Amino acid sequence: MGEEDHRLGPIGDAPFCQLRLEPWLTSGPAFPNGCSVQLSDAAPLSLLREALAEELGVQAGDVTFLEGSRVLDAATTVRDNGVSIADPASNAETKLAFAVAGHPWVREPAVRELLEAWRDEAPRWARRPPLPDAPHLMTHSVTNGRIRAGACTAYGPRVSNEDAHVCSCDWAVLPATRAGDATGDAHASLFAVCDGHGGTWTSESVGDYLADVLRTHAQNCEWWDKAARRAAVQEAFLTLDRRLDEEGGSRACSSGSTCIAAMIWPCGADEPAGYRVMLANIGDSRGLVLRRGSDTLSVTRDHKPDDPREKKRIRAAEGYVLPADPPQPARLDGKLAMSRAFGDMQYKADRARRQDAQKVIAVPEVYELTAELGDTVILACDGVFDVLQSEEVAAVAVRTIDLQGGDSSDAVNAASTVVWSALQRETQDNATCVVIHLPAGSASS
């Protein structure tokens, strides 16, 4: 049975409502195209959550159901959640979305609450001086007239900066329609943060090669098809990792890098004005998408060795996980604090195993969602998230953007304030942040 035909249930007793569950974010290998289920009209969503969690191999508490961007209450029925149920006689299915993560990807009111608390004044640690008075913050900004992006990086207490980043507003022209008509092509942008460890070679190489490798795979796939473009991005990451292995020698063996990448392109002419945002993540750098209209914050999943899904693969590859001993994190083979990365070839040396079955892999989790005009995308390394919660990072960024009043430098000022805040909170690592603002009235192919 193909992924598009996956079915669950029936769950509970008749009468049933026919549901179609689709991933809110394309995030994993389990039926990314959705599944169908028969759920009793009288059954709470918690029963469906338990069944779906068992299929996905996750905890029930890691599953969230949504209608649009509204989070549903799992303790009550679909109908009691205010969802309009399709007539069973018509064989039509009622569509719901689901999100799955080790921590909630959808955090509804938290950013709004912080912004309200900071309405008159930001916390002391978030009050950045003018950039000329903070020369240790290295910045640059880019724009293509539609979207605005800014990057900031700082050494922090380290003697070298192993971070790298990518900011390309005019990255690629992608085939957005099956007909191949050039008028339907999508002009896409690419942004990324790469957090190196064990030296700078891998992170700098990823920063140098990522745009070209992703462009080649994206332009040679059926980009208009969601599953095809997801597969193309995953294969691009693996292609880049093989290149690092071939060119790096001992440098690729002893050094590695996370990567959180964002590909952004305008929605099609037959869709509401906005952008498609695809996030691809390996390691513990993180991507956020703040949707201002619905007060929802989407957060990618960090790849840690003690995550049950990661630990299963590590053990199958004859590795082991040293448990966390706070403040020390869990470590793969007692050394590496992440389970997915570019490079780190010493953990990928079993030539009898596929690239996606090694102790450390470079297969990204891919997330895709629609961003509305006015939304903000934020990418940052763990030097930021070690000392700031995702909600704090989002609130700092959008508060700065709001104070700029639509100024062309709003994104770079937001990224700088995030990095400044991490330094004030005494991060012990390099700190890098990229902020992409999608201002109202900006979308155009």
Q: Give me the helix-helix angle, 226-248 and 201-219, nearest 10°.
A: 140
β-pairing verdict for 94-100 and 16-23: parallel
How many angstroms separate the CA atoms of 207 and 193, rounded? 8
Contacts for 364 with CB less than 8 Å, ≥ 6 apart: 233, 234, 237, 259, 261, 280, 281, 282, 340
The pLDDT value recorded for residue 104 is 37
pLDDT of 52 above 70: yes
pLDDT of 242 above 50: yes
Indicate whether this model's pTM tops 0.85: no
Q: Mean pLDDT over all residues of the chain? A: 88
Are 259 and 283 contacting, i.e. CB atoms less than 8 angstroms apart?
Answer: yes
pLDDT of 409 above 80: yes
The pLDDT value recorded for residue 183 is 52
pLDDT of 144 above 60: yes
- Residues carrying CATH 3.60.40.10, the chain: 138-303+367-438
Confidence of residue 29 (pLDDT cuts 50, 70, 90): very low
97 versus 205: the higher-pLDDT residue is 205
pLDDT, tens digit, for every residue of 75-121?
889 889 888 887 767 778 888 888 765 433 555 578 888 999 999 99
pLDDT, tens digit, for every residue of 311-331?
999 999 999 999 999 889 999
**CB environment 123-133: b (16+ within 10 A), e (fewer):** eebbebeebee
Q: Is 366 exposed, middle or buried (0-12, 13-18, 19+ CB in 10 A)?
A: buried
- Residues carrying CATH 3.10.20.90, the chain: 19-121
pLDDT of 301 above 60: yes
Are 366 and 234 contacting, i.e. CB atoms less than 8 angstroms apart?
Answer: yes
The pLDDT value recorded for residue 33 is 66
The pLDDT value recorded for residue 102 is 40
pLDDT of 125 above 50: yes
The pLDDT value recorded for residue 53 is 81
**Of 266, 270, 207, 264, nearest in space to 240 by CA:** 207
CATH superfamily of 138-303+367-438: PPM-type phosphatase domain (3.60.40.10)
Residue 121, CA distances (Å) to 117, 127, 130, 396 in order: 8, 9, 16, 11
Confidence of residue 26 (pLDDT cuts 50, 70, 90): very low
Confidence of residue 27 (pLDDT cuts 50, 70, 90): very low
Residue 59, CA distances (Å) to 14, 24, 306, 307, 364 in order: 27, 18, 14, 12, 21
407 versus 75: the higher-pLDDT residue is 75
How many angstroms separate the CA atoms of 201 and 442, rounded? 37
**Amino acid in the structure at residue 208:** D
Mean pLDDT, residues 129-146: 92
Q: Which H or E run includes 100?
A: strand 94-100
pLDDT of 302 above 50: yes
107 versus 21: the higher-pLDDT residue is 21
- In degrees rounded to 5, what are phi and psi of residue 71? -80, 130
Dmax (CA) of the chain? 68
Range in 5-14, 100-109, 408-417 with the lowest mean pLDDT: 100-109
Are 21 and 37 contacting, i.e. CB atoms less than 8 angstroms apart?
Answer: yes
The pLDDT value recorded for residue 268 is 82
Residue 327: is the preceding peptide bond cis (ω within 30°)?
yes
Mean pLDDT, residues 413-424: 98
pLDDT of 61 above 90: no
Mean pLDDT, residues 140-150: 92
pLDDT of 267 above 80: yes
**Of 309, 333, 331, 330, nearest in space to 320 by CA:** 333
Domain 19-121 fold is Ubiquitin-like (UB roll) (3.10.20)
- In degrees rounded to 5, what are phi and psi of residue 392? -65, -45
